[in-house]
Structure 1
Amino acid sequence: MLTVIIECQDQESELAQTLAVLVAGAIEGLVCDVVVLDHGSRDGSSHVADAAGCRFYSQWDIREILQSARGEWLLFVEPGARPQAGWIDEIAEYVSLNKVPARFTASRGYRRPLLQRISRSLPPLELGLLLSKRQAIAAAKTGMRLAEFAKGRKSRQLSSELIPSWVARAAR
């Protein structure tokens, strides 16, 4: 039903945090596939992905990755991002009833400082992106990074919260 795609580089601990949360989605039958796209990591990212049963690529063509996705919907998230309680049921219901992309709600417990929220826009995948496989394939271009799928794309907001990846980076 859902393929999760994560792009990383030397983010072993952040990747492990995200994959740990996704296990519940796999157990519930929502997450059928996780793909990790690596940009030359020199840490243990490949071992973490392998231990979690993910497909791990250090070289890829984004169109081929999207076409090989097992789910009809894709969830793009940053390593370290962690969906909070209720995300599984909400996404399962959302994908059965909707066709437009969606993003998580920013976690109330982990907000950027006020000046950062006002002075600059959020990174494109800070709140993840839920997108149909068909829409992603239509938008894909050779060499495209996951964040480019989110730029300028109108989306609905899910009520489920996401702890953003910067929290995991700040904890290091």
Structure 2
Amino acid sequence: MLSVIIPTDGGEQPVVATLAALVPGAAAGVIREVLLVDRSGTDAIERVADVAGCNFLPVKGSRAEALAAGARHAKSDWLMFLHPGAVLDNGWIDETSQFVQAVAASGRLRAGVFRYARSPYMDASLGDAAKHFVRLLLRRPPVDQGLLISRTHYDRLGGYSPTARRSEAKLLAHLGRSGRALLRTRIFVPDRAAI
């Protein structure tokens, strides 16, 4: 059902945390494949992919290029983009399956984003709190909130542009509020400085 795409920069620990939360989804048959798209030029993530049974794709360039390459190589009709270190809360499997079925039944193209939750183990800085407040006011989801989207919808929107600055934010903005659903499942996102 799903291809999960995780762009990485060579850090093993955040990737392992994300993969651990995905194991039940693979066991339930919801996840068809996980692509670790690494742009570090080291072999650390390739070793993680080998041990975890994931596909490994080395890419040179920006995070947007990694995301676009992962989408091109994905084999499923549905794509889930996650940042390394992001951990989905319990219940994501059922909700993801229901969302995919609901979109298919309605014939209306929509994408889903997970409910943002900072990791309880990280100290929030004043700057992070201000950014989160501005996003709430403007109703813009953070780019590390994850994205669940059908390949058809992704392709129609033009996907992640490998050459654009802030490609993730632009795709979310292009979806608009009416084009994305806020899922009930929380996604715990680590402090970027800790990764």
Common topology (TM > 0.5): yes
Larger radius of gyration: 2
1:135 aligned residue (150, 153, 159): 153
SS in 2 for 1:106: strand
User: For structure 2, which runs of at least 5 residues remain unmatched after alignment?
Assistant: 104-108
SS in 1 for 2:5: strand
1:29 matched residue in structure 2: 29
2:111 aligned residue (95, 98, 101): 101
Question: Structure 1 vs Structure 2: percent identity of aligned residues?
Answer: 28
Judged with a 3 Å threshold, the aligned counterparts in structure 2 of structure 1 residues 142 and 115 are, in CA distance, closer, same or farther, namely closer
Judged with a 3 Å threshold, the aligned counterparts in structure 2 of structure 1 residues 101 and 50 are, in CA distance, closer, same or farther, namely same
2:132 aligned residue (95, 101, 117): 117
Number of equivalent positions = 170
User: Residue type matched to 2:149 in 1?
Assistant: L
TM-score norm. by structure 1 comes to 0.82
SS in 2 for 1:29: coil
Report which stretch shifted further, 148-157 or 128-137: 148-157
Contact kept, 8 Å, 1:73 with 1:132, in 2: the verdict is yes
Q: Matches of 1:56 and 1:85 in 2, distance apart?
A: 26
2:181 matched residue in structure 1: 156
**Deviation by residue 1:58-114 (Cα, 9 ceiling, x = unmatched):** 138766643542221110000000000100000001001113001000227649553
User: Residue type matched to 1:125 in 2?
Assistant: V
Greater fraction of residues in helix: 2
1:87 matched residue in structure 2: 92
Q: Matches of 1:79 and 1:44 in 2, distance apart?
A: 14
Contact kept, 8 Å, 2:141 with 2:172, in 1: the verdict is no
C-alpha RMSD of the superposition = 3.0
Contact kept, 8 Å, 2:79 with 2:149, in 1: the verdict is yes
User: Residue type matched to 2:130 in 1?
Assistant: L
TM-score norm. by structure 2 comes to 0.73
